[in-house]
Amino acid sequence: KQEVTQIPAALSVPEGENLVLNCSFTDSAIYNLQWFRQDPGKGLTSLLLIQSSQREQTSGRLNASLDKSSGRSTLYIAASQPGDSATYLCAVAPRRYALNFGKGTSLLVTP
């Protein structure tokens, strides 16, 4: 079974810092990898989807990379803001339909 691990589990940074969230997975045979954001008590918001043939995707201040051979992905957040405070979840698609999720990184950006 595909296992997804996210490190660190929690992170606190001052506003303005650039930061990196890490995701690793055990089986490189994936269709795609998706990063989500979740605010407390809310549903998930899709941030970026990287196809298995791609190396990275960018959206605004967010950049996600994928290295399938090593089973790793990173989410880079530039110039962090207090509004970025949330839990960030990494999920991989080992088959066409379902996702396997990591347990998330809880991010706090302090003013």
Partner 1 sequence: DVKVTQSSRYLVKRTGEKVFLECVQDMDHENMFWYRQDPGLGLRLIYFSYDVKMKEKGDIPEGYSVSREKKERFSLILESASTNQTSMYLCASSAVGVQGTYEQYFGPGTRLTVT
CB 82 to partner 1: min, Å = 23
Stretch binding partner 1 (CB under 8 A), from 14-22, 58-66, 68-76, 96-104:
96-104
CB of 85 vs partner 1, minimal distance in Å: 18
Residue 83's SS3 state is helix
Instruction: For residue 34, report the phi and psi dihedrals to the nearest 5 degrees.
Output: -130, 135
CB-side neighbour CA atoms (13 Å) of 21: 31
The footprint of partner 1 on residues 3-62 (CB under 8 A) is: 31-32, 34, 36, 41-46, 49, 51, 53
Main-chain phi, psi angles of 7, to 5 degrees: -135, 135
Q: Which of 22, 63, 72, 101 binds partner 1 (CB under 8 A)?
A: 101
70 Cβ contact partners less than 8 Å away, ≥ 6 residues apart: none
Q: Which residues make up the interface to partner 1 (CB under 8 A)?
A: 31-32, 34, 36, 41-46, 49, 51, 53, 89, 91, 93, 96-99, 101-104
